Amino acid sequence: MTTSPDSIAAGFDTLGLAEPLLKALADVGYEIPSPIQAACIPVLLAGHDLLGEAQTGTGKTAAFALPMLQKIDLKRAVPQALILTPTRELAIQVAEALQKYAHHMPGFHVLPIYGGQSMVVQLRALSRGTHVIVGTPGRVMDHLERKSLVLNNLSMLVLDEADEMLRMGFIDDVKWILEHTPAERQTALFSATMPDVIRRVAHKHLREPREVKIRSATSTVVTTSQSYCQTHTGQKLEALTRILEVEDDFDAAIIFVRTKTATVELADKLEARGYSVAALNGDLTQGLREQVIERLKAGTIDIVVATDVAARGLDVARVSHVINYDVPYDTEAYVHRIGRTGRAGRTGRAILFLAPREMYMLKLIERATKQKITALTMPTPGEVANRRVAQFTQQIVDIIKNEKLDFFFDVVRRIEGEQDIAAREIAAALAWLSTRERPLQMPGANDHAPRDTASIPNAVSPAPSFSRDKERKPDAKARTKSDESYPAAEPRRERPAKDGRSDTPVKQRSFAEGTLARYRIEIGRNQGVLPKEIVGAIANEAGIAGKDIGQINLFDDYTSVELPANLPADLMDILRRIRVRQFALKTRIMEPGEFVDTRPPRRATPAREGKKPDWKKPDGKKPEWKKRER
């Protein structure tokens, strides 16, 4: 049996899974079944035995766990299913996955049992009753011999990573267990490879198994240059941002992840690091999806974090990079993904992140794309700093070439003369000043750390210069008392046009002069938000001009914003979803009487009266300006 991406486009709801499982899948953000899931779930639900050839990373755990959970009788806390795994790590991982998928099955219990864990703990847990056991063969045998584990009620047995169990010398234990479980059970055997020994076990212990094998892609010659970077999960984000900084010819990227949840999480993290980025997943309406793609085309965003389904057919010529942040299920999905770059006759670049246990994918992809995938070494902080300095240098060269600087020559000359400071020192101070928000050096740039991934400091690196020149979010603590109630600030500027591209922000809406209404948004002082961030987000994402945004009042956990009354439903939808500082605004109109300003009355904001504040200390004197010590 083989699968192709088109045959898997249907959602989980077409596979016959029960509502609590579909709900849990929605919670974890899975959009569509992986090929192995689409193939196995109906077979297992129908009660057949199954022989599956699948590697880690293909989604095989859910492929057997979901039908298993569907068949569990929650009322009977006796082992009804057993999963044998080669290692304790895998046993724990599988047990955790089951727990996750059984989130809406109250009272469900799964117990991992493996060598190395205290027998006393396991005996106690077993005596309390459980529905599913996940264990390593040796320890499961121990318990069966002691009769602390009784499998009379077992109706399903899964052998996970059977070839690994063979390689680790467990195959006799596995056969022994198979012989000591009820013969009428349903059995599924998963293995990355199918050596003869495994086939013989399957032949002897499985009843007319259906075979599921995921086709390992039609081979396609690709022109995209491909690299991979081996990294552990915890370091992936840092690796990604560093690589993005040093990549040549970066214009725009699509970053692929597996789940809807991951699109939002990664987009938020990249945004916090200064990138202009949006998430693209199946939860977006067609209208919003098109809006994201338009913004990518126009250059108002540079990065889209997407799932496979949401990015299907996406054709944007400026996408210079495809990043496989999460490894695809199979080589076909990989080929589809990297087809999003190298369009309109341009060269494309594909980068693949692989955890050590996913390295087997490399050979498969090389075979499928008929091309070598080169190793990418993690850029060191020093390399990132060099790149930033090169970009900074170019900016200076461009300014000297293109701008009129006479006035500034005079300023520098005056500082030289009056302060007796050399021009080089002035230039260094100015370089410091102009890069203060985005330092040229990463933390640790001076310590010549080895290039291994273990040495990556968990630093938040600011975005490189290709990202939108957006204002950095100022430190929340730096807010002053006078920030309490605000007239709307000017929206932040969009990135200036690059390479002759037109810069098309979200289409601006026009509103007839009229009444403003008060809306509530779910972010406030405690989240460190500033009024100008709110205005910027509303102006840029919803296309409401600064002039149509009235007074903004910050409260601890929410903010009230004056906007035109009777906003259309599509705009309200956008306003609800906009995120500021990673918080969805969840905008809604305030009820009459809901807005009660309990704070003490203040003076009118000086800026609104069009005059400068006359700040005085309590003693009536003006504050003195203190010279900064050098």
Residues that bind ligand AMP (CB under 6 A): 30, 33-34, 37, 56-62, 258-259
CB-nearer residue toward ligand AMP: 59 or 536: 59
Q: How far is CA 629 from CA 551, 626, in A?
A: 40, 9
Q: How far is CA 98 from CA 83, 109, 165, in A?
A: 11, 9, 21
C-beta of residue 525 within 8 angstroms of C-beta of residue 555: yes
C-beta of residue 214 within 8 angstroms of C-beta of residue 58: yes
Distance from chain centroid for Cα 225: 24
In whole angstroms, the minimum distance from the beta carbon of 64 to ligand AMP comes to 9
Residue 57 is encoded by which pair of tokens?
A: 């990373």
CB-nearer residue toward ligand AMP: 101 or 250: 101
In whole angstroms, the minimum distance from the beta carbon of 177 to ligand AMP comes to 22
In whole angstroms, the minimum distance from the beta carbon of 376 to ligand AMP comes to 23
In terms of phi and psi (left: phi > 0; alpha: psi -120 to 50; beta: otherwise), the region of 403 is beta
Number of Cβ atoms within 10 Å of the Cβ of 123? 15
Residue 241 is encoded by which pair of tokens?
A: 């941002």
CB-nearer residue toward ligand AMP: 26 or 123: 26
Question: Can you give 247-260 as a three-state secondary structure string?
Answer: CCCCCEEEEECCCH
CB-nearer residue toward ligand AMP: 189 or 301: 189
The one-character DSSP state at 443 is: T
C-beta of residue 106 within 8 angstroms of C-beta of residue 69: no
Q: Using CA atoms, how far apart are residues 55 and 34, in angstroms rounded to an integer?
A: 12
Please say whether the dihedral angle defined by the alpha carbons of residues 327, 330, 336 and 342, taken in this order, is positive or negative.
positive
In whole angstroms, the minimum distance from the beta carbon of 321 to ligand AMP comes to 22
In whole angstroms, the minimum distance from the beta carbon of 331 to ligand AMP comes to 15
The type of residue at 173 is D
Q: Using CA atoms, how far apart are residues 565 and 319, in angstroms rounded to an integer?
A: 39
In whole angstroms, the minimum distance from the beta carbon of 235 to ligand AMP comes to 17
In whole angstroms, the minimum distance from the beta carbon of 56 to ligand AMP comes to 5
Distance from chain centroid for Cα 349: 20
In whole angstroms, the minimum distance from the beta carbon of 90 to ligand AMP comes to 9
In whole angstroms, the minimum distance from the beta carbon of 181 to ligand AMP comes to 23
In whole angstroms, the minimum distance from the beta carbon of 41 to ligand AMP comes to 10
CB-nearer residue toward ligand AMP: 60 or 131: 60
Alpha carbons within 13 A on the beta-carbon side of 247: 25
Q: Sheet harboring 110-113: ordered strands across?
A: 110-113, 132-135, 81-84, 156-159, 186-191, 50-53, 210-213
Q: How far is CA 626 from CA 26, 176, 410, in A?
A: 58, 83, 26
Residue 45 is encoded by which pair of tokens?
A: 């639900």
In whole angstroms, the minimum distance from the beta carbon of 335 to ligand AMP comes to 18
CB-nearer residue toward ligand AMP: 80 or 281: 281
Which segments of 177-306 are extended strands (E)?
A: 186-191, 210-213, 225-230, 252-256, 277-280, 303-306
In whole angstroms, the minimum distance from the beta carbon of 34 to ligand AMP comes to 5
**Cβ neighbours of residue 326 closer than 8 Å, sequence gap 6 or more:** 256, 257, 258, 262, 353
In whole angstroms, the minimum distance from the beta carbon of 100 to ligand AMP comes to 8
Q: Using CA atoms, how far apart are residues 514 and 413, in angstroms rounded to an integer?
A: 53
Q: Sheet harboring 552-554: ordered strands across?
A: 485-486, 552-554, 559-564, 516-521, 588-589
Q: Using CA atoms, how far apart are residues 97 and 5, in angstroms rounded to an integer?
A: 24
CB-nearer residue toward ligand AMP: 161 or 173: 161
C-beta of residue 110 within 8 angstroms of C-beta of residue 93: no
CB-nearer residue toward ligand AMP: 34 or 276: 34
In whole angstroms, the minimum distance from the beta carbon of 36 to ligand AMP comes to 8
Element (H, E) at 92: helix 88-101
Residue 320 is encoded by which pair of tokens?
A: 């210079």
**Are β-strands 81-84 and 132-135 bridged in parallel, bridged antiparallel, or unpaired?**
parallel
In whole angstroms, the minimum distance from the beta carbon of 357 to ligand AMP comes to 9
